[in-house]
Chains A and B, each alone.
Chain A
Amino acid sequence: MLIFDLLGPMAHFRKYYTNSSSLTYGFPPRTVLMGVVAAVLGYERDSYYEELDRGRFSVVIKVPGRRLIQTVNYVRTKKEDLTELRRLGRARGTQIPLEFLLPARGNHNLCFRIFFTHPDTGLVEEAVYRLRENRSYYPLYLGLTECIARGEYVLLAGRGDYQVVPPGSQVSLNSVLNAALLQEVLLAKNKGACRLIREKAPHSFGSGRTLRPPVSIIYEDRGQPFTARLHVPAYRFLFPNGEEETVAFLEG
Chain B
Amino acid sequence: MLESVSLVGRTLARGREDTEGAIGDLIKQPPAKPPRVEKIYLVKLDFQINENGPRLGVDMEEIDSSVLYRYRWVGNRKGSRPQLYLTTDNLDYLVGQALPNLRAAMEEMGRQDTRLYQGLLQITEHFFQKLPDGSPVLDPEKPGLAGEDFLAIAWEGTTGKPRERARDVIGKVADQVKKFALAGLGIKSSEAALWTVLFNGEPLATDPAYAAVVVRSREGAVAEGGQKSLRGICSVCGGENRPVTYDLSQLVFLKYYINDKKGFASGVSDEGFKKTFLVCSACFRSLLLAEEYIRQHLGLRIGQQIKFLVLPAFLIEPDMGREDLEAWAGRLRARVGTLSSAAVWLEKIAGRGGLETELAYFLEEQPQDNLALLNFLFYQYQENQSEFRVLGLVKDVAPGRISHLLRHSYRLAVNGEVLLGADHRSWWLDLTRVYRLIPISEGRRGAEHKKLLYIYEALLGEQPVNYHFLIRQFVALAAIFQTGRFAGTNILPPQAGYEELEMGRRILQANLLLKFLREENLLEGGWPLASIPELEGLNGAMQDYLREMDYNGPATALFLLGYLMNQVGREQAEAGYKQKPVLEKLNYAGMLWSKVLRLSNMVFDQLRQYDILRYNEGLFAIMKKLFDAHREQWPFSPEENVFYILSGYAYATRAAMKAKVERENNADNRGGTDQ
- Which residues does A use to contact B, with CB under 8 Å? 15-21, 23, 66-67, 69, 74-79, 82, 94, 97, 99, 185, 195-200, 206, 208-216, 218, 221
In angstroms, Cα B233 to Cα A200, docked, is 14
A76 nearest in chain B by CB position: B261
Residue from A69, A79, A215 within 8 A of B391 (CB atoms): A69
- Interface residue count on the B side (C-beta < 8 Å): 43
Chain B residues contacting A77 (CB-CB under 8 Å) are: 261-264, 268
Tell yes or no: B2 within 8 A of A by CB. Answer: yes
Inter-chain contact A97/B233, CB cutoff 8 Å: no
Residue from B2, B275, B388, B393 within 8 A of A208 (CB atoms): B275
Residue interface bits B164-186, CB-to-A below 8 A is 1, else 0: 00000000000000000000000
Inter-chain contact B396/A21, CB cutoff 8 Å: no
Chain A residues contacting B256 (CB-CB under 8 Å) are: 17-21, 23
Inter-chain contact A17/B2, CB cutoff 8 Å: yes
Which 4 A-B pairs rank lowest in CB-CB distance, beginning with the nearest?
A: A213-B238, A77-B263, A21-B390, A20-B258
Inter-chain contact A20/B257, CB cutoff 8 Å: yes
Interface centre among B278, B313, B315, B391 (most CB of A within 10 A): B315
Kindly count the residue-residue contacts between A and B in the assembled complex, taking CB atoms under 8 Å apart.
107
Residue from B1, B266, B277 within 8 A of A209 (CB atoms): B266
B375 nearest in chain A by CB position: A197
Given A67-B393, A214-B238, the answer on whether A198 and B388 have CB atoms closer than 8 Å is: no
Inter-chain contact A221/B261, CB cutoff 8 Å: no
Chain A residues contacting B263 (CB-CB under 8 Å) are: 74-77
How far, in Å, is A203 (CB) from chain B's closest CB?
Answer: 9
Inter-chain contact B2/A210, CB cutoff 8 Å: no
Residue from A19, A211, A216, A218 within 8 A of B235 (CB atoms): A211
Given A19-B258, A19-B264, A214-B238, the answer on whether A197 and B233 have CB atoms closer than 8 Å is: no
Chain B residues contacting A198 (CB-CB under 8 Å) are: 3, 313-315
Inter-chain contact B388/A21, CB cutoff 8 Å: yes
Chain A residues contacting B391 (CB-CB under 8 Å) are: 69, 97
Inter-chain contact B233/A216, CB cutoff 8 Å: no
Tell yes or no: B472 within 8 A of A by CB. Answer: no
Inter-chain contact A18/B257, CB cutoff 8 Å: yes
* CB<8 Å pairs between A and B, sample of 27: A16-B277, A17-B2, A17-B235, A20-B256, A20-B257, A20-B387, A23-B1, A23-B256, A69-B391, A76-B263, A77-B262, A78-B260, A82-B262, A196-B373, A198-B313, A198-B315, A199-B1, A200-B2, A200-B3, A209-B267, A210-B275, A211-B275, A211-B276, A211-B277, A213-B234, A213-B238, A218-B315
Interface centre among A75, A199, A200 (most CB of B within 10 A): A200
Residue interface bits B303-315, CB-to-A below 8 A is 1, else 0: 0000000000111
Chain B residues contacting A76 (CB-CB under 8 Å) are: 261, 263
Inter-chain contact A15/B2, CB cutoff 8 Å: yes
Tell yes or no: B316 within 8 A of A by CB. Answer: yes
Residue from A16, A23, A74, A78 within 8 A of B276 (CB atoms): A16
Residue from B261, B268, B275 within 8 A of A78 (CB atoms): B261
Tell yes or no: B395 within 8 A of A by CB. Answer: yes
In angstroms, Cα B232 to Cα A211, docked, is 10
Tell yes or no: B240 within 8 A of A by CB. Answer: yes
How far, in Å, is A39 (CB) from chain B's closest CB?
Answer: 18
In angstroms, Cα B1 to Cα A231, docked, is 25
How far, in Å, is A226 (CB) from chain B's closest CB?
Answer: 10
Inter-chain contact B388/A20, CB cutoff 8 Å: yes
Inter-chain contact A23/B393, CB cutoff 8 Å: yes
How far, in Å, is B416 (CB) from chain A's closest CB?
Answer: 28
Inter-chain contact A199/B3, CB cutoff 8 Å: yes
Tell yes or no: B126 within 8 A of A by CB. Answer: no
In angstroms, Cα B262 to Cα A42, docked, is 28
Inter-chain contact B389/A20, CB cutoff 8 Å: yes
Chain A residues contacting B258 (CB-CB under 8 Å) are: 19-20
How far, in Å, is A79 (CB) from chain B's closest CB?
Answer: 8
Chain A residues contacting B267 (CB-CB under 8 Å) are: 209
Tell yes or no: B274 within 8 A of A by CB. Answer: yes
In angstroms, Cα B234 to Cα A214, docked, is 9
In angstroms, Cα B232 to Cα A21, docked, is 25
